[in-house]
Homo-oligomer: A and B are copies of this chain.
Amino acid sequence: MAAELSGWLRVIGLGPAGAEWRTAEASEVLARAQHVLGYHSYLARLQQEAAALPALLDPSAVLHGSDNGDELARARSALELAEQGQRVVLISGGDAGVFGMAAAVFEAIDLGPARWRALDVRVLPGVTAMLAAAARLGAPLGNDFCAINLSDNLKPWSTVERRLMLAAQAGFVIALYNPASRTRSEQVHRAFAILRQHRVPSAVVIFARAIGRAGEQLLVTTLEQADPAQADMQTLLLIGNATTRCIARPGATPWVYTPRKLDGST
C-alpha cells in the first residue's frame, strides 16, 4: 500500500519548441519520471532533447509511445501506472490543458473506478501554441480572443461553423488549432468561407508553422489573399479582428498587434 500512496501522475506540456519554452516545474517532474507516456512524435522530440541534455530524463525511465487518436486509452494507462505506485508523466505539445491530454485524463477518471479520484494527479501549465506564435509576431492577441479546435473528429462540424460565425461577429481575434491533418483538409477551406462572410477582407491572417522548431515559418497575409491550402497539421492560424495592425519592418516579417484600445463598434 505504501507504494500505491507514493505514485503520481503529472500531465505536462513540453512547450511548443523544447527546453527554452518549458517551465521549470515541467522540467523538474520530467527528471523524476519513471514512466513517460505520449504521442510517438512528442516522445521522439523528448528523446532527441535528452540525447543532448541527459539530465532531462532518468536513464531508467520507460517511454510509452502511442498513436494519435488513442488519447483515452493512453490516459487510462497512465492512471493505472500511477495507481501501481509509479511516478508517471503524460506529455502533450504546448500546454496539456489546451486541446492536449489533460481533458482525456479527467474524462478517464470520470468514467473510471471511484478509487482513481483519490490518486495524486496534477496538470502543470505550459506555453500553448497560440502564445508562442503571438510572441513571434508581436502582440496579435492584445485584445479579446478565442481558440477553436478545427478538428471535427469529436464534435459536429455544425458546431465549429456556428462558433466561427459568432466569434467573427464578436470581434475576437481567432486562433485556429489543428486546421488540417493528413486525412482532413476540407475543414480549413470551409472555415475561411465562413470567416470571409463575417470579417473584413483586409483582416490580418497569420499562418504560424512549427513555431520554435525546425522548419518554422511565419506568413502574414489578409483574409482576402490567404490560401487555406497552406495550412498543415503543424500550422496554427491566427485571424486578426478589424483593428489588428501590421507594422512593416525593413527586411523582416512585419510585426502584428491588436490595439488594447477600441473605439466604437468592433
Contacts and interface: CB of A to CB of B under 8 A. Distances in A.
Contacts of A98: 131, 141
A194 to B, nearest CB: 13
Contacts of A89: none
A127 B94 CA distance: 10
Q: Copy number in this complex?
A: 2
Given A139-B123, A167-B170, A250-B118, A109 B255 contact: yes
A220 B266 CA distance: 32
Contacts of A155: 143, 260-262
A162 interface: yes
A146 B117 contact: no
Contact of A261 (B20, B154, B250): B154
A180 interface: no
A125 B259 contact: no
Closest 5 CB pairs of A and B: A103-B142, A106-B257, A146-B146, A102-B139, A155-B262
